[in-house]
Amino acid sequence: MAAKRIGLVAHDDKKDDMVAFARENRERLVRFELYGTGTTGGRVAEGAGLSITRLKSGPLGGDAQLGAMIAEGRLDALFFFIDPLTALPHDVDVKALTRLAMLYDIPLACNISTAKAVLAAL
């Protein structure tokens, strides 16, 4: 059975949360194929010692790359730590990505609590 695939993306003010989550859950995450947008992927790889395929930065197309992976059935879950308190300059990309996760019915975790629950279920 092939490893399940998880996409990781976090807004700037949530990147530390994503790294902390990945570090805390490293033993489980190492069993998955991980894909992340540029900066988030780099921070997770460095901070948690995980192997992660890095895509483009979110605003430069990384969100769209993850969305395409969802549409093509190549992602099993998306962990997208969204900062609800900051205006998002690329809000259209964010909405498109979350819409695709809902449309294709893959688990979408927008915070640590939900990510822990999804990870346990996978």
Show which residues are catalytic.
63
Please provide the size of the chain in residues. 122
Residue 23: C-alpha distances to residues 29, 47, 108 (Å): 9, 7, 20
Smallest CA-to-CA distance from 71 within 32, 33, 101, 107 is with: 101
Measured N-to-C along each axis, helices 38-48 and 15-24 cross at an angle, to the nearest 10 degrees, of: 40
